[in-house]
Amino acid sequence: MTETQPKASHFVNGAWREDASGEAIPVIYPATGEVIATVHAATPSVIEEALASAERAQKEWAALRGVERGRVLRRAADLIRKRNRDLSVLETYDTGKPLSETLVADAMSAADALEYFGGLAATLSGEHIQLGGDFVYTRREPLGVCVGIGAWNYPTQIAAWKGAPALACGNAMVFKPSETTPLGALRLAEILMEAGAPAGLYNVVQGMGAVGAALINDPRVAKVSITGSVPTGTKVYEAAAKGMKHVTLELGGKSPLIVFEDADLDSAVSGAILGNFYSTGQVCSNGTRVFVQRGIKDDFLGRLSERLKGVVMDDPLDERTNFGPMVSQRQREIVEGFIAKGLEEGARLVAGGRRLNRPGFWIEPTVFADVTDGMAIARDEIFGPVMSVLDFDSEEEVLARANATEFGLAAGVFTRDLSRGHRMAAGFEVGTCFINAYNLTPVEAPFGGMKRSGIGRENGHAAIEHYSQLKSVYVGMGPAWAPF
């Protein structure tokens, strides 16, 4: 039986920490609407303890060899894999995502990140630059105390995607989960301690935006990495700029997925399903503008409708369920608002569109066809299971329309013509492209956005650049020269 009420709201300085004077935050199971736990927002004293302990632990941690830091991260990865089922059940309670998903995509991805960056920790190094007799060497140094701020769609994965590279580079982290899904990150903090991390190295404090803002504004903090919406990311960027802090911004999107007439149709339909309905559409990189070349439009919609018969919306803890509820009442209302706008603006509803008549925040996977570029459902990030199908004729036209957005997170193309696939990938103004695939985000590959979808990259070697800084050391081998 998975315990949903955590031992305390926060995990600070290596131990559970409670301060019930902070605002109470109910944790709601989205499948039923029931309150399954309560945590309290961090008070100034909890925030202070977290930052002070992180500052202490960071010095001790940075003094270790990379191989020693890596060993702790790899042990944590092993513990997560051993406890995957329990962690996945908790993630399902926290988010409402079906267990069939959380078993493979959440704690397991966290374990991958810890293992990957644990392996890299021992390889971090500077370079040696010969200047004849004199030379320069560079030292790759940690930034110090980093703050991580999470969104609610992948709480455990986000906590690890930020924590693993930060720790590998010799930083400490204070992580603030989304107030909607506060549970998973606490488990990660506990596991890192068990794996041998020093007390205070990875702290979790709960709260809304104000707690995030308090952390970013503290002068001890060197960097902030946030996963969230563009408006929140903008505020975080402004606050960080005031203190000249490093940032990683993983923000929203309205990504295009383009299906050419020569595509393998079933595979393209799979891509569109993955890119719109996995995690009930609550994925930042979703390909929600599905451009289908005119000649195959009816076939595409026909196959898609067939495949939608396979949706199983039931108890998320039953592994046969493959489509869960929205994370919250509010998120469902936002989605319903967009569905109403789509109808109002003349899009054709092909599937779904209704909420289910049962407790919890359920809504059907929804498909609109005959969508045009100016409609709200084609312009704005919905962050729910609403697919917009748009028609197109030529490659040139569709690339221009795909790029005509302020967002630049991801894009996908389905075609059997590989040179066209690579041409499209080169032309997309986005951080992550998919050719004949969609929404696969292995920890080995850099992930992040262009344009308003963000700054910096998570995962891959690229993340190291965002959690470390270089120091150049000039070494004079002869007597020092001066003009007088």
What is the full DSSP assignment across 86-102?
HHHHHHHHHH---HHHH
Catalytic residue among 49, 101, 115, 250: 250
Candidates 219, 88, 230, 117; CA nearest to 463 is 117
CA distance 28 to 284: 22
Site for ligand NAD in 425-454 (CB under 6 A): 449, 454
Residue 98 in tokens: 């079906």
Number of residues counted as binding ligand NAD (CB under 6 A)? 30
* Residue 333: CB minimum distance to ligand NAD, A: 13
Candidates 451, 426, 417, 431; CA nearest to 259 is 417
> Phi and psi for 101 in degrees, rounded to 5?
-90, -50
CA distance 472 to 139: 7
Smaller CB separation from ligand NAD, 155 or 200: 155
Residue 399 as a binder of ligand NAD (CB under 6 A): the answer is no
Smaller CB separation from ligand NAD, 247 or 375: 247
Are the beta carbons of 321 and 360 closer than 8 angstroms?
no
* Residue 78: CB minimum distance to ligand NAD, A: 26
* Residue 65: CB minimum distance to ligand NAD, A: 31
Q: Is 260 exposed, middle or buried (0-12, 13-18, 19+ CB in 10 A)?
A: buried
Smaller CB separation from ligand NAD, 84 or 178: 178
Site for ligand NAD in 362-391 (CB under 6 A): 381, 383
Residue 149 as a binder of ligand NAD (CB under 6 A): the answer is yes
Residue 160 in tokens: 């690890």
Site string for ligand NAD, 187-226 (x = CB under 6 A): ---------------------xx--xx--x---------x
* Residue 80: CB minimum distance to ligand NAD, A: 20
Are the beta carbons of 142 and 169 closer than 8 angstroms?
yes
Q: At 39, is the secondary structure helix, strand, or coil? A: strand
Smaller CB separation from ligand NAD, 224 or 402: 224
Residue of the chain from 66, 96, 150, 352 that contacts ligand NAD (CB under 6 A):
150
How many CB atoms sit inside 10 A of residue 419's CB?
Answer: 8
Site for ligand NAD in 282-311 (CB under 6 A): 284
Residue of the chain from 11, 117, 152, 362 that contacts ligand NAD (CB under 6 A):
152
* Residue 204: CB minimum distance to ligand NAD, A: 12
* Residue 207: CB minimum distance to ligand NAD, A: 7
Residue 321 as a binder of ligand NAD (CB under 6 A): the answer is no
Smaller CB separation from ligand NAD, 159 or 192: 159
* Residue 302: CB minimum distance to ligand NAD, A: 30
Residue of the chain from 73, 251, 265, 378 that contacts ligand NAD (CB under 6 A):
251
Residue 252 as a binder of ligand NAD (CB under 6 A): the answer is yes
CA distance 225 to 248: 4
* Residue 480: CB minimum distance to ligand NAD, A: 48
Angle among Cα 331, 413, 401 to the nearest 5 degrees reads: 70
Residue of the chain from 206, 225, 227, 366 that contacts ligand NAD (CB under 6 A):
227
Residue 335 as a binder of ligand NAD (CB under 6 A): the answer is no
CA distance 387 to 401: 17
Residue 236 as a binder of ligand NAD (CB under 6 A): the answer is yes
* Residue 206: CB minimum distance to ligand NAD, A: 10
Site for ligand NAD in 170-189 (CB under 6 A): 176, 178-179
Give CA separation, 189 vs 14, 91, 208, 467, 471, in Å: 8, 15, 19, 19, 30
Which span sits near ligand NAD by CB under 6 A: 29-37, 40-48, 104-112, 251-259?
251-259
Verify whether residue 395 is a known catalytic residue.
Answer: no
Residue type, 473: V
Residue 126 as a binder of ligand NAD (CB under 6 A): the answer is no
Are the beta carbons of 412 and 390 closer than 8 angstroms?
no
Give CA separation, 291 vs 87, 265, 279, in Å: 37, 13, 22
Smaller CB separation from ligand NAD, 92 or 415: 92
Angle between helices 297-308 and 265-277 (to 10 degrees): 60
Residue of the chain from 229, 270, 436, 469 that contacts ligand NAD (CB under 6 A):
229
Note the Cα 378 to chain centre separation in Å. 22
Candidates 216, 259, 213; CA nearest to 412 is 259
Residue 35 in tokens: 């309150």
Query: Which residues are CB-neighbours of 126 under 8 A, at least 6 positions away?
Result: 137, 138, 139, 140, 470, 471
> Footprint of ligand NAD on this chain (CB under 6 A)?
149-153, 176, 178-179, 208-209, 212-213, 216, 226-229, 232, 235-236, 250-253, 284, 381, 383, 409, 449, 454
As annotated, the active-site residues are 250
